[in-house]
Amino acid sequence: MADIPYKIYLSEDEIPRRWVNMKAVMHEKPEPIRNPSTFQPITREELEQLFCKELVEQELNESDLYIEIPEEVHNFYKMFRPSPLVRAYCLEKILDTPAQIYYKFEGTNTSGSHKLNSAAAQVYYAKEQGLTHLTTETGAGQWGTALAMACAYYNIDLTVYMVKVSSQQKPYRRAVIETYGGKVIPSPSDETDVGRRILKEFPDTGGSLGCAISEAIETALKTQNCRYVLGSAMDHVLLHQSIIGEETRIACEKYGIKPDMVIGCMGGGSNFGGLIAPFVIEKVTGRSDMRIIGVEPASCPTLTRGRYTYDFGDTGKTTPLLKMYTLGSGFIPSANHAGGLRFHGMNPIVSKLYHDGLLEARAVEQTDVFDAATVFARSEGILPAPESAHAIMAAMDEAIKCRETGEKKTILFGLSGTGYFDMAAYMSYNSGNMVDYVPSDEDLQRGFEGLPIVPKL
Amino acid sequence: MADIPYKIYLSEDEIPRRWVNMKAVMHEKPEPIRNPSTFQPITREELEQLFCKELVEQELNESDLYIEIPEEVHNFYKMFRPSPLVRAYCLEKILDTPAQIYYKFEGTNTSGSHKLNSAAAQVYYAKEQGLTHLTTETGAGQWGTALAMACAYYNIDLTVYMVKVSSQQKPYRRAVIETYGGKVIPSPSDETDVGRRILKEFPDTGGSLGCAISEAIETALKTQNCRYVLGSAMDHVLLHQSIIGEETRIACEKYGIKPDMVIGCMGGGSNFGGLIAPFVIEKVTGRSDMRIIGVEPASCPTLTRGRYTYDFGDTGKTTPLLKMYTLGSGFIPSANHAGGLRFHGMNPIVSKLYHDGLLEARAVEQTDVFDAATVFARSEGILPAPESAHAIMAAMDEAIKCRETGEKKTILFGLSGTGYFDMAAYMSYNSGNMVDYVPSDEDLQRGFEGLPIVPKL
């Protein structure tokens, strides 16, 4: 069919031995994380109360372009990496486009997404530090699953606060986490002060990610040899996800593929930031002028309609403050929003790159996303996660533009995961009952009103 | 870690270009398929009423050792093959065994199992024949999903009769089939004579595989340009599945791996028969003396406790007669049996090989199978289908024997698929509510009483 195979697999020897740190080459660094009480840049010691020592080190590292992947993490990576870079021959044919389309597919492991890349690293550092217990929150469940897999591998106890309504609607996700030995507690629970307080006030609440984060943090702080870990939004998570971009870059160089644009979906930004990392470095250092495009849901339009300011990471306002694009930590996307990517904020590096004009962003509506997901599933054979289908849709749009202009562009996108646990959303789409929702300016205004007041610095 | 990587991927050039046909080398051939009315060997013309022409050709072919894979099927295979041959380093470590364990993993495609290997071929031949419509039945849903994927690829209409209780208990499986454009009809339905008859007699029935087969056959016979296809049990399905074994053989030769035993799980026999095909050929032709072990559930013990005789393929007694090991077409495993592999019979080639002493068979109980599945999931990272976990369990048992004897055997097993849609069974196991069931001799006797009476030939 062509010199380039359907699926490009690097050999195990070619799995990158280092993560890449975009911050090291950025002309202007992102602004520091701040303590919400004092508004001072947060100290290493403050962060280490909550997070693993080495992860704090990575979070604050602005100088090292390369950070070595520990041997044991590299061995873990060999269980599920390298992931394939796939030439979308069948999709190209269906779209009748002169464009060449490639996707980097992160859904071949049991967690079903890229999340395992960071879980493998985070739990390793926790183990190295002598910790015996970790806590986290999970919404849709991909992160909880990935972390449970990593905790089983390194033999560490895990407590997952799972948004109650999610644990009820997705009992099978919960069952996967439990099969890997994770303890799942529907949140809000009566096991924490914050949970009990919320239950007293709202006994019938289905919970929220913000509440689950607060419970996971409280438990981490109160438990011996325990820390809190999270699956997106923060810079150290992006760092681990740079394995996606590095493998992609190496495969492209090996096969002479020169992408004109790189496209990814954005929630907290870790999959997107990891995919684009080496390409951002090439762009910042003047070696490339490719387009980099982030795609978000129109119902949670963080970059396209949010504000660039300091905000909390959770609705409970218990985290340090991050300078980022945000819709306000009280913003919750409409309940009919099916496809993940619900975080009100955006990773600080991605936010800064967007602010400085190095990235484009676009917002898309969910019925269009599921249209694209269905075309992709039927042509390429892979059932995509709704999140990942945001990137598919943008890639298809660009390929259709090429059909119209006759341009032979090379389009690369990140397929972050599979949709096996998202069939309720596909059923809603298949039955014609799925509706779109775009928040009004007034809706967004309500979210912005909850933003912390930033003092003159 | 070693010269052999975690995951051996052949290159696309190395994907086999031909299926292998065990029948061509068997000293004694399996007995012919027979017409249940006349008891005469069934004719090509009779089979072609129901099945695609080329598939009938393959079903009856006893002479050609190699059958070329059509170019278009080979291109389809490139979308999801080669599948990895994985060295189970982590499982070996957990088991503290001197044995080397390998597994061939067929669960990386969206259908979640090996079923797509045959679906890709069957739908291609249907298209070549100018058919526009296919019918089938599905129980757990893996076959229905695989066939829907292949029908989407070749643009053929598909009607799937899905056992009613299964379509209710597994709405997400149904949704995947529908996402790929398949029409799912819960069976028994009021769309066929047989369905209406059953509904009249048993209005509250949850259906059975036998009934769904009967409805699919009736619809195929009544619809223009339509045939019935099925996902296991018959010889042409095994032929297509030989791609599993051929890839395994090639990878083993390339890396100098010499298995002492090959292990697979058995339902209708297609995954097992496909995996072992090249190894059986080596054994029959005197080039190897490896052990070949099939594993079945103790609750549906076809080879280990069944009779070797002519029987129908369905409970409705509408199919041609196959000479095989069978528990009687009226045998239904206990409702508490969670893990698939429920077919009352066994593919005629596998049956004959077992009868002639070329294979071993063992039956295992389901809580032991889920114990093994959980150890495997936590060590190797992959969540196995309960069916596949039967093979895992036997492989682990053999590895533990090696620990006791100190023997460095090489154990190869087939991991036929993933368990993402089987979480209800895992939940039952995780909660401690799963129980074992072994049919009594009296239970089996009831099944044998329904066997057709074989006239003196």
pLDDT tens profile A273-312:
999 999 999 999 999 999 999 999 999 999 999 999 999 9
- The answer to whether B423 contacts A383, with C-beta atoms less than 8 Å apart, is no
Q: How close, in Å, is residue B74 to chain A by CA atoms?
A: 11
- The answer to whether B430 contacts A178, with C-beta atoms less than 8 Å apart, is yes
In this predicted structure, the answer to whether residue A2 has a pLDDT above a threshold of 70 is no
Q: In terms of C-beta density within 10 A (0-12 exposed, 13-18 middle, 19 or more buried), how is residue B99 classed?
A: buried
Residue A74, SS3 per DSSP: helix
Tens of pLDDT, residues A205-248: 888 888 899 999 999 999 999 999 999 999 999 999 999 999 99
Q: Which residue of A has its CA nearest to B417?
A: A110
Each residue of B259-289: b (16+ CB within 10 Å) or e?
bbbbbbbbbbbbbbbbbbbbbbbebbeeebe
In this predicted structure, the answer to whether residue A365 has a pLDDT above a threshold of 70 is yes
**Count of pairs with CB atoms under 8 A, one residue in A, one in B:** 115
- The answer to whether B110 contacts A374, with C-beta atoms less than 8 Å apart, is no
Residue B106 falls within a domain, yes or no?
A: yes
Q: Which of B383, B422, B431 to mutate to test binding with chain A, by most A CBs within 10 Å of its CB?
A: B383
Query: What pLDDT, on the 0 to 100 scale, is given for residue A116?
Result: 98
β-partners of residue A133 are: A157, A226
In this predicted structure, the answer to whether residue A351 has a pLDDT above a threshold of 50 is yes
A218 CA to centre of own chain: 23
Residues in B touching A5 (Cβ below 8 Å): 11-12, 78
Query: Structure tokens of B274?
Result: 């496909």
Q: In terms of C-beta density within 10 A (0-12 exposed, 13-18 middle, 19 or more buried), how is residue A243 classed?
A: buried
- The residue among A338 and A16 whose pLDDT is bigger is A16
Residues A219 and A229: beta-carbon distance below 8 Å: no
Q: Where do the H-state alpha helices sit in A361-440?
A: 366-380, 386-405, 423-430
Identify the helix (H) or strand (E) that includes residue A307.
Answer: strand A307-312
Residues of A with CB under 8 A from a CB of B: 1, 5-7, 9, 11-12, 75, 78-80, 90, 108-110, 112, 149, 152-153, 171-172, 175-176, 178-181, 374, 377-383, 418, 420-421, 423-424, 426-427, 430
Residue A145 falls within a domain, yes or no?
A: no
Residue B187 falls within a domain, yes or no?
A: no
Polymer length in residues for chain B: 457
Tens of pLDDT, residues B181-195: 999 999 999 999 999
Q: Which residue of A has its CA nearest to B88?
A: A79
Q: Which residue of B has its CA nearest to A424?
A: B172
**What is the Cβ-side half-sphere exposure of residue B64, based on CA atoms within 13 angstroms?**
12
Q: How close, in Å, is residue A151 to chain B by CA atoms?
A: 9
- The answer to whether A383 contacts B108, with C-beta atoms less than 8 Å apart, is no
Global pTM reads 0.95
Query: What pLDDT, on the 0 to 100 scale, is given for residue B1?
Result: 38
Pick A180's closest partner by Cβ from B110, B378, B418.
B378
Host domain of residue A402:
8-14+69-112+235-448
**What is the Cβ-side half-sphere exposure of residue B66, based on CA atoms within 13 angstroms?**
7
Tens of pLDDT, residues B248-270: 999 999 999 999 999 999 999 99
Residue A90 falls within a domain, yes or no?
A: yes
Q: How far apart are CA B292 and CA B274, in angstroms?
A: 12
Q: How far apart are CA A439 and CA A232, in angstroms?
A: 24
Residue B322 falls within a domain, yes or no?
A: yes
Comparing B73-87, B314-328, B391-405, the range with the smallest average pLDDT is: B314-328
Residue among A221, A248, A216, A18 at smallest CA distance from A114: A248
Residues in A touching B424 (Cβ below 8 Å): 172, 175
Question: What residues have CB less than 8 Å from A405, skipping those under 6 apart?
Answer: none
- Helix/strand/coil (H, E, C) string of A10-70? CCHHHCCCEEECHHHCCCCCCCCCECCCCCCECCHHHHHHHCCHHHHHHHHCCCCCEEECC
CATH code at B406? 3.40.50.1100
β-partners of residue B158 are: B134
Residue B59 falls within a domain, yes or no?
A: no
Tell me what percent of the residues of chain A surpass a pLDDT of 90: 88
Residue A206, SS3 per DSSP: coil
Pairing mode of beta strands A133-138, A226-228: parallel
- The answer to whether A426 contacts B381, with C-beta atoms less than 8 Å apart, is no
Tens of pLDDT, residues A372-388: 999 999 999 999 999 99
Question: What residues have CB less than 8 Å from B393, skipping those under 6 apart?
Answer: B295, B364, B368, B369, B371, B372, B373
Confidence of residue A266 (pLDDT cuts 50, 70, 90): very high
Each residue of A157-189: b (16+ CB within 10 Å) or e?
bbbbbbbbbbbeebebbbbbbbbbbbebbbbbb
Residues A164 and A140: beta-carbon distance below 8 Å: no
Tell me what percent of the residues of chain A surpass a pLDDT of 70: 99
- The answer to whether B423 contacts A80, with C-beta atoms less than 8 Å apart, is no
Identify the helix (H) or strand (E) that includes residue A103.
Answer: strand A100-105
ipTM score for this prediction? 0.94
Q: How far apart are CA B339 and CA B326, in angstroms?
A: 19
Residues in A touching B75 (Cβ below 8 Å): 1
Query: Structure tokens of A129?
Result: 């530090």
Query: What pLDDT, on the 0 to 100 scale, is given for residue A1?
Result: 38
Residues in A touching B180 (Cβ below 8 Å): 377-378
Query: What pLDDT, on the 0 to 100 scale, is given for residue A159?
Result: 98
**How many domains, in total, are found in chain A?**
1
β-partners of residue B346 are: none
In this predicted structure, the answer to whether residue B338 has a pLDDT above a threshold of 70 is yes
Each residue of A107-122: b (16+ CB within 10 Å) or e?
bbbbbbbbbbbbbbbb
Residues B269 and B295: beta-carbon distance below 8 Å: no
The DSSP symbol for A300 reads S
Tens of pLDDT, residues B51-74: 999 999 999 999 999 999 999 999
**pLDDT mean over B154-162:** 97
Residue among B2, B9, B19 at smallest CA distance from B246: B19
In this predicted structure, the answer to whether residue A256 has a pLDDT above a threshold of 60 is yes
Residue A358 falls within a domain, yes or no?
A: yes
Q: How far apart are CA B127 and CA B329, in angstroms?
A: 32
Q: How far apart are CA A310 and CA A30, in angstroms?
A: 11
Confidence of residue A340 (pLDDT cuts 50, 70, 90): confident
Q: How far apart are CA B227 and CA B129, in angstroms?
A: 10
> What is the residue type of B332?
I
- Helix/strand/coil (H, E, C) string of chain B? CCCCCCEECCCHHHCCCEEECHHHCCCCCCCCCECCCCCCECCHHHHHHHCCHHHHHHHHCCCCCEEECCHHHHHHHHHHCCCCEEECHHHHHHHCCCCEEEEEECCCCCCCECHHHHHHHHHHHHHHCCCCEEEEEECCCHHHHHHHHHHHHHCCEEEEEEEHHHHHHCHHHHHHHHHCCCEEEEECCCCCHHHHHHHHHCCCCCCCHHHHHHHHHHHHHHCCCEEECCCCCCHHHHHHHHHHHHHHHHHHHHHCCCCCEEEEECCCCHHHHHHHHHHHHHHHCCCCCCEEEEEEECCCCHHHHCEEEEEECCCCCCCCEEEEEECCCCCCCCCCCCCCCCCCCCCHHHHHHHHCCCCEEEEECHHHHHHHHHHHHHHHCCCECHHHHHHHHHHHHHHHHHHHHCCCCEEEEEECEECCCCHHHHHHHHCCCCCCCCCCHHHHHHHHHCCCCCCCC
Query: What pLDDT, on the 0 to 100 scale, is given for residue B2?
Result: 44
Pick B12's closest partner by Cβ from A5, A108, A178.
A5
Q: Which residue of A has its CA nearest to B107?
A: A108
- The answer to whether A5 contacts B110, with C-beta atoms less than 8 Å apart, is no
Order of strands, sheet of B410-415, starting from the edge strand that comes earlier in the sequence = B7-8, B85-87, B100-105, B410-415, B261-265, B291-297, B360-364
- The answer to whether A421 contacts B420, with C-beta atoms less than 8 Å apart, is yes
Q: How far apart are CA B76 and CA B151, in angstroms?
A: 12
Residue B177 falls within a domain, yes or no?
A: no
**What is the Cβ-side half-sphere exposure of residue B160, based on CA atoms within 13 angstroms?**
31
- The answer to whether A153 contacts B109, with C-beta atoms less than 8 Å apart, is no
Residues A245 and A19: beta-carbon distance below 8 Å: no
What average pLDDT is seen over chain B?
A: 95
